[in-house]
Structure 1
Amino acid sequence: MLILECPCCGVLADETELAPGGEAHLKRFGPGASDDEFEGYLFMRENPRGVHFERWRHVNGCGKWFHAARDTSTLEVFGTYPAQTTEPPRDIRDRISARRPGWTWREFA
């Protein structure tokens, strides 16, 4: 079972209290975007085996959105942080690098 700590209220919640929101750190395109940019936003998602950054909502708690860094193969959680953060905090990236040598942060365009 996946257990994440909500960084907003500090509660350790299992996946039944949470709602997944897809990949984190996507660049959203609005009016004036090209068809290719909008198509990429809608349909082009990472689905890695390994380290992944996801959006979650603490539905049966504070109701706030947050991001989680975890390994999709092992369910190992590297950390959670507020959804307003534009990239994972340095301590989470360092924790991932220590556990997964050779891992690099994917730059989002």
Structure 2
Amino acid sequence: MLIPCPLCGPRDLREFTPKGAAVTVDRPAADAAPEVWHDYLHLRDNPAGPSRELWWHGVGCGAWLVVDRDTVTHEVTSVVLAGEVAAE
């Protein structure tokens, strides 16, 4: 599987480390209620099909990426820098 890094171009999957669902980019406020933090830390979907994930390009440029891919076919449909998603 190739992942098109926005900084390096298409790279082999082995250069990246998956870090789970990209919901971690949408961190709650520091003063959020304990229930909100519980949901953020412990309650995650594990879909079969389209998924938005956080990946680290550790062997390459070191960028954090948000990768939209299908977990069944592994087709990558979108890759953006995580900082761009967090700024939205």
> What TM-score range do you get, normalising by the shorter chain?
0.7 to 0.9
Which amino acid is 2:44 matched to?
R
Structure 1 gaps of 5+ residues are 88-109
Calculate percent identity across the aligned residue pairs: 36
Matches within 5 A, 1:12-91: 12-26=10-24, 27-86=26-85
Aligned length in residues: 85
Which amino acid is 1:23 matched to?
A
1:1-27 CA distance string (max 9 Å, x none): x320111222x2222110111111442
Q: TM-score, normalised by structure 2?
A: 0.84
**Structure 1 stretches of 4+ moved >3 Å:** none
Larger radius of gyration: 1
Measured at CA, do residues 56 and 74 of structure 1 come closer, stay the same or move farther in structure 2, by a change above 3 Å?
Answer: same
- Structure whose residues are more often strand by fraction: 2
